[in-house]
Amino acid sequence: MAITRPVNIDTPWADQGLKATIPNTSQIGVSDGRASYPDGFPPLTMTQIAAGGVPFFGQDMNGILNALSAHTAFQNSGGQYRFDPVLVANIGGYPVGTVLQDDNGIHSYRNVLANNSVNFNTTPAAIGVSWMPYSASQAATETLSGIAELATQTEVNTGTDNLRIVTPAKLKSGSTYLASDRGYIKLPSWMGSLILQWGIENTGEVATTGTINFPVAFTSNVFVLLATEWATGPQVFNVYTGVPTNTNFVWYGTNTTTGAADFLRQWNWIAIGV
């Protein structure tokens, strides 16, 4: 069966009519035939008049319906309940699951503590402990869930904002790598797009010089280029390089004893730049 939304009730029953304020204490023996919240309509109003009964009062009926429908009208109009110290005292604290709006009318909180009498408006430390954020209507913090704006790439790169959220895509932006004997890693843009490159070279026992192309071209500058020969013990061979370009560098093998050009076996290099 389809559920049909009822017509809104935006005006309490008998809002301008005659009505009585229904008391919270029994009226039996106090005011014959008058209704109260503990008794409702008393037994005397359900007794035949010939047997001593009395009719119920129309003002009581209007009063009851007015009190009940006032809450319906309040909720139909979008109203939300707020912390009520008087109600708390009467019921012994809010039960688990109660949802209340703060006094500013901005945030809502759900109670997770039985018989909770702590007012989160005056005791904000209770938020996140016994009163949990009910919706994403408040700003997210390190301890509370909520809403937060996504950071722009510029804000991520600057690295000073502590309110916006960084997405994985922006965290990785500009970052690439090649894990190989001749490889590189390009750090993300928020780390300056720094590029680290390396290579393991085996130029044999013939060439005394040559050109090595970087796995990926530097964009603007090479800060550091270091090269060294691998060896299992003392060697008289050494390798040094010329001034690198953004795409390659020239290497030279030398004999440290004679100072003459000499071939190299296996050697490696590392370069850092942007």
131 C-beta neighbours (distance < 10 Å), count: 29
C-alpha dihedral (117, 109, 144, 169), degrees to nearest 10: 170
Query: Per residue in 206-244, pLDDT tens?
Result: 788 899 999 999 999 999 999 988 766 666 678 889 999
| Mean pLDDT score of the chain | 90
> What is the rounded radius of gyration, in angstroms, for the C-alpha atoms of the chain?
41
Please tell me the predicted confidence (pLDDT) of residue 137: 59
For residues 163 and 58, which has the higher predicted lDDT (pLDDT)?
58
Spatial neighbors of 232 by CB under 8 A, at least 6 apart, are none
The answer to whether 201 and 241 are in contact (CB under 8 A) is no
- For 48, the 3-state DSSP assignment is coil
> In angstroms, rounded to a whole number, what is the distance separating the alpha carbons of residues 187 and 78?
51
Q: Using pLDDT thresholds of 50, 70 and 90, give the confidence band for residue 142.
A: confident
Strand partners, 228: 268
> In angstroms, rounded to a whole number, what is the distance separating the alpha carbons of residues 197 and 177?
9
Q: Using pLDDT thresholds of 50, 70 and 90, give the confidence band for residue 192.
A: very high
The region of weakest confidence among 78-82, 128-132, 202-206 is 202-206
Cα angle 47, 48, 53 (rounded to 5 degrees) comes to: 60
17 C-beta neighbours (distance < 10 Å), count: 12
Please tell me the predicted confidence (pLDDT) of residue 141: 76
For residues 185 and 236, which has the higher predicted lDDT (pLDDT)?
185
Share of the chain above pLDDT 90, in %: 70
User: Residue 145: which H helix or E strand, with range?
Assistant: none
Query: In this model, does residue 138 exceed pLDDT 70?
Result: no
pTM above 0.75, yes or no: no
Query: In this model, does residue 194 exceed pLDDT 90?
Result: yes
Query: Per residue in 1-38, pLDDT tens?
Result: 777 878 888 899 999 999 999 999 999 999 999 999 99
Q: Using pLDDT thresholds of 50, 70 and 90, give the confidence band for residue 79.
A: very high
Q: For 124-134, what is the mean pLDDT? A: 91
- Of the candidates 81, 82, 69, the residue with the CA atom closest to the CA atom of residue 10: 69
Please tell me the predicted confidence (pLDDT) of residue 236: 65
Written as six digits, the tokens of 112 are 């997770």
Q: Using pLDDT thresholds of 50, 70 and 90, give the confidence band for residue 163.
A: confident
Please tell me the predicted confidence (pLDDT) of residue 136: 58
The answer to whether 273 and 195 are in contact (CB under 8 A) is yes
Residue with tokens 């993300």: 188
> In angstroms, rounded to a whole number, what is the distance separating the alpha carbons of residues 21 and 42?
16
Q: Give CA separation, 32 vs 53, 59, 115, in Å.
A: 9, 14, 36
Q: Is 44 left (phi over 0), alpha (psi -120 to 50) or beta?
A: alpha
Q: For 74-94, what is the mean pLDDT? A: 94
